[in-house]
Structure 1
């Protein structure tokens, strides 16, 4: 099964540049995490809306990743750049 995890967040305007550097540093680890198939990030520069479009082998793989970054401090670093925690939605590909 393939799953898309869509995370919607809002960047604190004063931290946009710092967040970009943080993401450039951390994204290789996300993409290399077991079960991650792809990560794309989209930013609306006008209002600070950011979408993480992540493809994972399963919801469990994504949840393991989230647990890992909560335990190693990366999640708290990420949250420091955001106005509020990301809203996470999961989507399964339909074969129709």
Structure 2
């Protein structure tokens, strides 16, 4: 069964204009990473809330991806656009 991952963040004041091209450049690599099934980005300008929803084949696949972006600096680059680190949640789809 796949796992859903949500990353809930607040974009720093004035940061979205630079964040958007960063995400456009980086999202193809996320979507192409082994085990990635889907990635969507949701943003609310008024509150500056950013929500990234990802579906992965397994939590281990996601852990390998996080390890990779921690090592190559992409996570640090992403967090630099935010007011703090993301709140991460792992969720299972309910068969109801």
1:34 is matched with which residue?
34
| Divergent runs of 4+, >3 A | none
State how far apart, in whole Å, the 2-side matches of 1:50 and 1:26 are. Answer: 16
Taking structure 2 as the reference length, the TM-score comes to 0.96
Aligned to 2:12: 12
CA distance in 2, matches of 1:91, 1:10: 20
State the match for 2:76 in structure 1.
Answer: 76
Post-superposition offset of 1:2: 0.8
Q: How many residues align?
A: 96
In 2, distance between residues paired with 1:27 and 1:67?
A: 16
SS of structure 1 residue aligned to 2:84: coil
**Considering only aligned residues, what root-mean-square deviation do their CA atoms show, in Å?**
0.8
